[in-house]
Amino acid sequence: DQQVKQNSPSLSVQEGRISILNCDYTNSMFDYFLWYKKYPAEGPTFLISISSIKDKNEDGRFTVFLNKSAKHLSLHIVPSQPGDSAVYFCAATVDQTGANNLFFGTGTRLTVIP
């Protein structure tokens, strides 16, 4: 059963506007969350992460928000650029176990329209 869910398979946004990608998880033991970005014919690349002790982490145009009570996180991209068009995967892990393995969602394909 999917422990990390991305319910929107695709999203289209105009260049310059905000892109919001959403992710839900079911395992309350998850304590570290990541977003990966994937271009066609390439492997996923790490984008941004957040620990469960925080509710927000920002890196340039990218901000991740975590709502632990709702078991929900989101990725905001502002402003969106055509080069941001890719598939975005949400991932989670139980960092305190040191196991290091990630559980991924099914991905959201973002298209930024010039």
Partner 1 sequence: DAGVIQSPRHEVTEMGQEVTLRCKPISGHDYLFWYRQTMMRGLELLIYFNNNVPIDDSGMPEDRFSAKMPNASFSTLKIQPSEPRDSAVYFCASSRGEGTYSPLHFGNGTRLTVT
List contacts with partner 1 (CB under 8 A): 2, 6, 32, 34, 36, 41-46, 49, 51, 89, 91, 93, 95, 98-107
Min CB(70)–partner 1 separation in Å: 21
Min CB(16)–partner 1 separation in Å: 29
C-alpha gyration radius of the chain: 14
Q: Is the dihedral of CA 13, 18, 19, 23 positive or negative?
A: negative
Angle at 74 between CA 65 and CA 13, to 5 degrees: 130
Min CB(91)–partner 1 separation in Å: 8
Min CB(60)–partner 1 separation in Å: 17
DSSP 37-71: EE-TTS--EEEEEEETT-SEEEETTEEEEEETTTT
Task: For partner 1, give the closer residue by CB, 98 or 114.
Answer: 98
Task: For partner 1, give the closer residue by CB, 6 or 63.
Answer: 6
